[in-house]
Amino acid sequence: MIAVLTENWRLSLKLLRWTYGRLLWPGKCCPMNPEKRAPALLICVIAIPGTTAFAQSPAIQKQISPPTFDVASVRSMTYSDDAPTHIHNPPRNSEFKAVNVTLRDLLEVAWEIPETQMAGGPAWASADKFDLEAKSDARFKDELATLSVEQGKEVKRQMLRSLLNERFKLEAHAEKRDMPIFALVIAKGGSRLVKTDAIGAGLSSGRGRISITGADDALAILAFELSWRLGRPVIDQTGLTGRYGITLNWTDEDAPSPVSGGSNGPSLFTAIQEQLGLKLVATKGPVPILVIDHAERPSEN
């Protein structure tokens, strides 16, 4: 996946499915509990049907070591509000690095779910900032390299979950709740999406723009992107499958006013209909929610 770091720190976080590029500054790593290491096992997929957030991944047939990091460093940090967030999480490499992230940001990566579909937990989980670096030994790195990209993503998600359980004493469970949502449906006149043969999924997003290329789950990615921008879960109900290229541009209400003589572009809702042939319908429905039952601030390394 080719990801472009955006000018908006919040947007750069949302490229969490893919390969991110920024490195943490060096820091000491502390060994994780060696008792967590167990004999080789068959990695299983944890998923909840009916949502892009808990999207199912291809079953992993290959036997590899258990999904845990060997060493990890978690540090509490203080950043300005406009400081960028960086996440480096290559799916076929055992490294994970994050800068200026909250616990809820990490949960988005570990569970592939937007924050709009989270509930519970302490207030600091969405306020306190952390830097995190974790890695496994060379043998595990080599084993990950033999997996497909999708299989590697699922293993890395499980590894991050194990790390959060270990360092943040995280306890969470999934349930469904009826809540306001936006249903993403095909607009009157039909979809304007065009299928693509592009190889290598890519996501580039910024203020008032989203571009998705070469992804087999382009509609799921679009729904995820729209969810956090709108502050409400967006559920893909288009029924469309396949690989699409999606380019969406609109006027961001939070963006500076256009220069004198300029013209305003379409709103997000209008752009989705005019440019993609899709529509957002406000409704209610059952939504998978990740409920944070317990979390503790991690101890200093």
**Listed residues 174, 208, 226: the one ending a domain:** 174
**Amino acid identity at 136:** S
203 domain residue, yes or no:
yes
- Quote the CA–CA distance of 264 and 255 in Å, as a whole number: 11
* pLDDT value of position 254: 56
For residues 213 and 162, membership in a common domain is answered with no
301 domain residue, yes or no:
no
Domain count, the chain: 2
At 60, the pLDDT band (50, 70, 90 cuts) reads: very low
What's the mean pLDDT in 32-60?
33
Domain of 103, in residue numbers = 2-174
For residues 106 and 196, membership in a common domain is answered with no
- Quote the CA–CA distance of 166 and 214 in Å, as a whole number: 36
300 domain residue, yes or no:
no
For residues 236 and 139, membership in a common domain is answered with no
At 271, the pLDDT band (50, 70, 90 cuts) reads: very high
For residues 103 and 160, membership in a common domain is answered with yes
Strand partners, 205: 210
For residues 149 and 26, membership in a common domain is answered with yes
- Quote the CA–CA distance of 261 and 208 in Å, as a whole number: 20
At 126, the pLDDT band (50, 70, 90 cuts) reads: very high
- Quote the CA–CA distance of 288 and 177 in Å, as a whole number: 7
For residues 209 and 249, membership in a common domain is answered with yes
* pLDDT value of position 112: 87
